[in-house]
């Protein structure tokens, strides 16, 4: 006897008379929280066998909860084990407070029946703690499930961050972008070297945060290079391309942004040169989601963790944008599913300025077929617009800003933590 066992016996004796619980549901909760409870797998197999000796599916305080099977019966129902193993794991059930021993004077398990066959006195294993602690087991199971989900999500974050950082570093090296790429690579390797084979969630979160800081630095280096190549072509022209290359775009958008036909015509030639000068590597997923947050409203559970999720969300957005299946299929065949999805997401982000989204997608598909279109300038323009909006709001120390393109509608633009760090490094947020 220990104080913990005595406390379990006291709790079992104070069960509410109206208490009831499904024995198999409580068993599932116990199985989920077995590590927190300290129960072993073999002990749970024995507990499952003990519960099977209780005839009703529900445990209630109105009836006896003592079962008294022999060791031979328990061994058969527990799929076979040696008597020594049985005794060891029965002791585990008692130690963890899942059952209570009700020993007879001679240590055997049996029941005395009275008139009518009703049990007057029983000696064996008392299942009362399972009923008394049913809510505790349920809460423990929910906590274990939440921790498992959080661990899975942080592992997904880690995978995406590693992939995006490596892709951006490779793009910078292969495209000859000026930057301390060897330093970035050493920094990345130093972070990953601290990643153990089996890591706790807090360890993974710490490594993820460091990788995301590295992501911001590498992303800023690439963005600065693209902007320095030709700011007018890479930012303004790419924005004009999204807004006005389509002949169906409304004239109010043109007047709002002060666009002229001569400027548009002169930008086309420069645009083609810039397409060849842009990185040939794929865009990192995190960068694209930052640039096109509208697509998150159509994503499953409001999260995009993989390129498959991104393409699926773009496929869901297609009918709402009035894009025909044939236009989407053609874009996928010419650009590939990921770049087609990026294009659709960028069009969705600017949907209030594009009248015919399907026609515009076909236009961009034809340009991509002639190798005159790249998704890099389109995404960079959206990111620049997002950062510029927050730069204007920096004087008010705001965390969100109303997009001027939305007039008086008061649409709030949310930014990710990565972009916020980027802004701090440029001195736009104090």
How would you write the pLDDT of the chain (430 residues) with one tens digit per residue? 565 555 565 555 567 677 888 999 999 999 999 988 888 889 999 999 999 888 888 888 777 788 888 888 888 888 888 889 888 989 898 888 888 888 777 677 767 766 666 666 778 888 888 888 888 899 999 999 999 999 999 999 899 989 999 999 988 888 888 888 888 999 999 999 988 888 888 899 999 999 988 998 888 888 888 877 654 444 444 444 444 444 344 333 332 333 233 233 223 333 444 454 555 567 888 888 888 988 888 887 788 888 888 998 998 888 888 888 888 889 999 999 999 999 999 999 888 888 788 888 988 998 888 888 888 888 888 888 887 777 777 655 544 444 433 433 333 444 455 545 544 444 434 3
CB 284 within 8 A of CB 164: yes
* Pairing outcome for strands 119-126 and 100-102: antiparallel
Residue 351 and residue 270 share a domain: yes
User: Hey, which bits of 85-223 come out as E strands?
Assistant: 100-102, 110-113, 119-126
Residue 161 near residue 211 (C-beta atoms within 8 A): yes
If one counts every other C-beta atom within 10 angstroms of the C-beta of residue 19, the result is: 15
User: Is residue 139 included in any domain, yes or no?
Assistant: no
142 is a domain residue: no
| Listed residues 229, 256, 282: the one ending a domain | 229
**177 in a structural domain:** yes
Contacts with 38 (C-beta within 8 Å, 6 or more apart), sequence order: 92, 95, 96
CB-based burial label for 69 (10 Å; 0-12, 13-18, 19+): middle
Angle at 318 between CA 366 and CA 351, to 5 degrees: 80
Same domain for 109 and 43: yes
> Which residue among 183, 198, 229 closes a domain?
229
261 is a domain residue = yes
Side-chain half-sphere exposure of 64, counting CA atoms within 13 A = 16
Identify whether residues 182 and 264 lie together within a single domain. Answer: no
CB 71 within 8 A of CB 83: yes
Question: For the residues of 150-214, what is the DSSP string, one character each?
Answer: HHHHHHHHHHHHHHHHHHHHHHHHHTT--S-HHHHHHHHHHHHHT--SS--HHHHHHHHHHHHHH
In this structure, the answer to whether residues 214 and 240 fall within a common structural domain is: no
- Both 109 and 244 in one domain: the answer is no
Distance CA(149)–CA(305), nearest Å, equals 14
Residue 109 and residue 88 in contact, taking contact as beta carbons nearer than 8 Å: no
**Within this chain, do residues 72 and 19 fall inside the same structural domain, yes or no?**
yes
Shared-domain flag, residues 209 and 235:
no
Q: Are residues 222 and 312 in the same domain?
A: no
- pTM, full prediction: 0.49
Same domain, 291 and 384: yes
Q: Is 107 contained in some domain?
A: yes
Q: What is the CATH number of the domain that holds 29?
A: 1.10.10
Same domain for 59 and 202 = no
> For residue 334, which of 313, 359, 364 has the smallest C-alpha distance?
364
Position 128 in a domain: yes
- Position 295 in a domain: yes
Q: Count of CB atoms within 10 A of residue 403's CB?
A: 16
* Residue 180 domain boundaries: 147-229
Residue pair 66/94 in contact by the 8 Å Cβ criterion: no
Angle 201-229/417-426 helices, nearest 10 degrees?
Answer: 50
Same domain, 104 and 23: yes
Considering its fold, how many domains does the chain have in total? 3
Residue 138 domain-assigned (yes or no): no
Question: What angle, rounded to 10 degrees, do the helices at 337-349 and 307-320 form?
Answer: 50
250 with 363, same domain?
Answer: yes
Given 229, 260, 285, which residue is the final one in a domain?
229
């Amino acid at each position: 006897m220990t104080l913990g066992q005595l406390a379990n016996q006291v709790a079992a004796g104070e069960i509410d008379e109206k208490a009831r619980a499904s024995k198999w549901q409580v068993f599932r909760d116990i199985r989920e929280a077995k590590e927190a409870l300290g129960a072993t797998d073999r002990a749970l197999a024995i507990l499952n066998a003990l519960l099977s000796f209780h005839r009703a599916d529900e445990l209630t305080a109105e009836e006896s909860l003592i079962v008294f099977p022999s060791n031979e019966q328990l061994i058969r129902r527990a799929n076979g084990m040696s008597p020594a193993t049985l005794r060891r794991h029965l002791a585990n059930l008692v130690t963890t407070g899942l059952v209570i021993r009700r020993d007879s004077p001679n240590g055997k398990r049996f029941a005395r029946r009275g008139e009518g066959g009703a049990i007057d006195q029983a000696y064996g294993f008392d299942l009362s703690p399972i009923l008394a602690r049913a809510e505790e087991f349920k809460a423990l199971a929910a906590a274990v499930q939440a921790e498992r989900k959080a661990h899975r999500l942080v592992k997904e974050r880690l995978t995406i961050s590693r992939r995006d950082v490596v892709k951006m570093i490779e793009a910078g090296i292969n495209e000859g972008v000026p930057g301390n790429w060897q330093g970035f690579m050493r920094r990345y390797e130093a972070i990953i070297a601290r990643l153990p084979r089996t890591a706790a969630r807090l360890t993974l979160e710490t490594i993820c945060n460091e990788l995301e800081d590295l992501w911001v630095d590498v992303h800023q280096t690439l963005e600065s290079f693209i902007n320095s190549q030709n700011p007018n072509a890479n930012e303004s022209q790419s924005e004009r391309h999204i807004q006005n290359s389509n002949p169906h775009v409304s004239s109010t958008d043109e007047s709002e942004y002060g666009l002229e036909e001569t400027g548009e015509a002169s930008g086309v030639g420069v645009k083609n040169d810039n397409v060849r000068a842009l990185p040939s590597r794929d865009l990192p997923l995190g960068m694209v989601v930052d640039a096109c947050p509208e697509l998150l409203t159509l994503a499953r559970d409001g999260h995009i963790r993989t390129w498959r999720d991104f393409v699926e969300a773009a496929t869901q957005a297609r009918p709402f944008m009035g894009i025909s299946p044939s236009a989407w299929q053609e874009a996928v065949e010419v650009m590939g599913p990921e770049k087609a999805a990026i294009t659709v997401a960028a069009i969705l982000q600017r949907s209030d300025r594009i009248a015919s989204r399907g026609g515009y997608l076909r236009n961009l598909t034809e340009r991509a077929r002639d190798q005159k279109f790249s998704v890099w300038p389109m995404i960079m323009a959206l990111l620049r617009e997002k950062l510029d909006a927050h730069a204007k709001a920096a004087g008010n120390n705001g965390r969100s800003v109303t997009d001027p393109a939305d007039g008086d509608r008061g649409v709030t633009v949310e930014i990710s933590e990565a972009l916020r760090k980027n802004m701090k490094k440029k001195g736009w947020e104090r």
